[in-house]
Amino acid sequence: MPKTANIEDLRQRARRRIPRFLFDFVEGGADDEFTVRANREAFGRHAFRARSLVDVSTRDLSTTLLGQRLELPLILGPVGLAGLLAPGGERLAARAAVKKGALFTLSTMSVCTIEEVAAAVPAPGWFQLYIWKDRGITRSLVERAKAAGYTALCVTVDVPDMGNRERDVRNGFTVPPRLTVANAFDLLLHLGWVLRMTRSPRATFGNFEDSKALTRRDAVSVAAYTSRQFDASITWADLQWLRELWPGPLVLKGISCAEDARRAVEHGVQALVVSNHGGRQLDGLPAALDVLPEIVDAVGGRAEVILDGGVRRGSDVVKAIALGARACMIGRPYLYGLAADGQAGVELALELFRKEIDRTLTLLGCPRLDQLDASYLRGPGEAPRLSLPAGRTSTG
């Protein structure tokens, strides 16, 4: 088998290993997927300004995030149902992150529970929270995350309702997945995945299994299940309520304009994730990278800024950091690794990023990640439009 040279190769391996409906669940975005493509293409509009004759014989890729030192400036973003890609998926990804010096964020919608993931690693990373309609359940999630030792609460604010993921509608994607006439052939072609999943203790939202209010024994469509739980009435006032429940650092994920960034800082938020949810929510939002400068400017150093969406190369990470991000969050790239080869696949994804960031810094003439600034980039106007190779314009 040919070697895996980059994240795109890992994506191709993932595509072969898991059923089509699951690959589509990972890959898809909302509506026409304009924002999914925009996230990726934005990186091509920035070209580097390299320096020559700089001593780059040793490089430092580390950063600090909310006071925590990371060997790699990467956060594995919260993804729901990662445990469907490999048994114990969230535990595997959390372990891989620890091993490679990155940070893991556990989703509210995970298959493994808050406690299972915390027990799998020496110290858990961040917990991502959706503020549920039922504030009792929300409170209990926060208390469980606190008791389990998660270091920051990452509140996702771009989901007043679920985005329109048409691939899932078309595929009749359900949780847990069930055998239907339509997917029988797909499952037959991926018997390895079916067999692997029979070893998994569950194939549904682990954090709610015990909750009478949310447990459903029957398979329901993902869209129907989750839209019932999202609360479209959440406002900034709810952050105050959370502040009282959670004394630790608060991170807001899903900020996409300067006004919201300023408000977040006024509400004492310590970090912001500039994100459009990987193009899975409001289609038509600009690329996360394109709004990064306006948000860095609005925040003015009063909070840490993280870039999320479309990051597939170490050079993308370097560009985002040069534009003022402290670290990048990745979603699909590590899911490709998880689907392709479990924990080893996530480690491979992180190792590919590490090598690429390292090489980029070397060739750029910048030995330390924390020395990067906008002077290492040419503005969008100055850069030749770098287009992605054919067939690479989608998420990969």
DSSP conformational letter for 287: P
Distance CA 320, CA 183 (A): 40
**Rule CB under 6 A: which of 262-301 touch ligand FMN?**
275, 277-278, 280
Nearer to ligand FMN, 4 or 128 (CB): 128
Among the residue ranges 90-98, 208-216, 328-336, 356-364, the one whose residues contact ligand FMN (CB under 6 A): 328-336
Distance CA 47, CA 28 (A): 28
Q: Which of 46, 190, 267, 277 is catalytic?
A: 277
Strand 63-65, strand 68-70: pairing: antiparallel
Question: What separation in angstroms does the CA of 60 have from each of 73, 98, 366, 369?
Answer: 11, 18, 10, 6
Size of the site for ligand FMN (CB under 6 A): 24
Neighbours of 355 (CB within 10 A): 12
SS3 label, residue 271: strand
The distance of Cα 177 from the centroid of its chain, to the nearest Å, equals 22
**Rule CB under 6 A: which of 202-231 touch ligand FMN?**
none
**Nearest distance from C-beta of residue 113 to ligand FMN, angstroms:** 14
Q: 218 labelled as ligand-binding?
A: no
**Rule CB under 6 A: which of 136-165 touch ligand FMN?**
156
Q: 80 labelled as ligand-binding?
A: yes
Binder among 44, 87, 314, 331 for ligand FMN (CB under 6 A): 331
Q: Does 26 bind ligand FMN (CB under 6 A)?
A: yes
Using left for φ > 0, alpha for ψ between -120 and 50, and beta otherwise, residue 312 falls in alpha
Q: Does 311 bind ligand FMN (CB under 6 A)?
A: yes
For residue 394, the number of C-alpha atoms closer than 13 Å in the C-beta half-sphere is 13
Q: 167 labelled as ligand-binding?
A: no
Residues 89-118: x where in contact with ligand FMN by CB under 6 A, - otherwise, as a string: ------------------x-x---------
Q: What is the 3-state secondary structure (H, E, C) of 315-353?
A: HHHHHHHHCCCCEEEECHHHHHHHHHHHHHHHHHHHHHH
- 315 within 8 A of 328, measured Cβ to Cβ: no
- 382 within 8 A of 46, measured Cβ to Cβ: no
Whether 46 is catalytic: no
Residues 170-199: x where in contact with ligand FMN by CB under 6 A, - otherwise, as a string: ------------------------------
**Nearest distance from C-beta of residue 58 to ligand FMN, angstroms:** 29
**Nearest distance from C-beta of residue 332 to ligand FMN, angstroms:** 3
Binding site for ligand FMN (CB under 6 A): 25-26, 39, 77-80, 107, 109, 128, 156, 253, 275, 277-278, 280, 308-311, 330-332, 395
Binding-site sequence positions for glyoxylate = 165, 277, 280
Residues marked as catalytic: 277
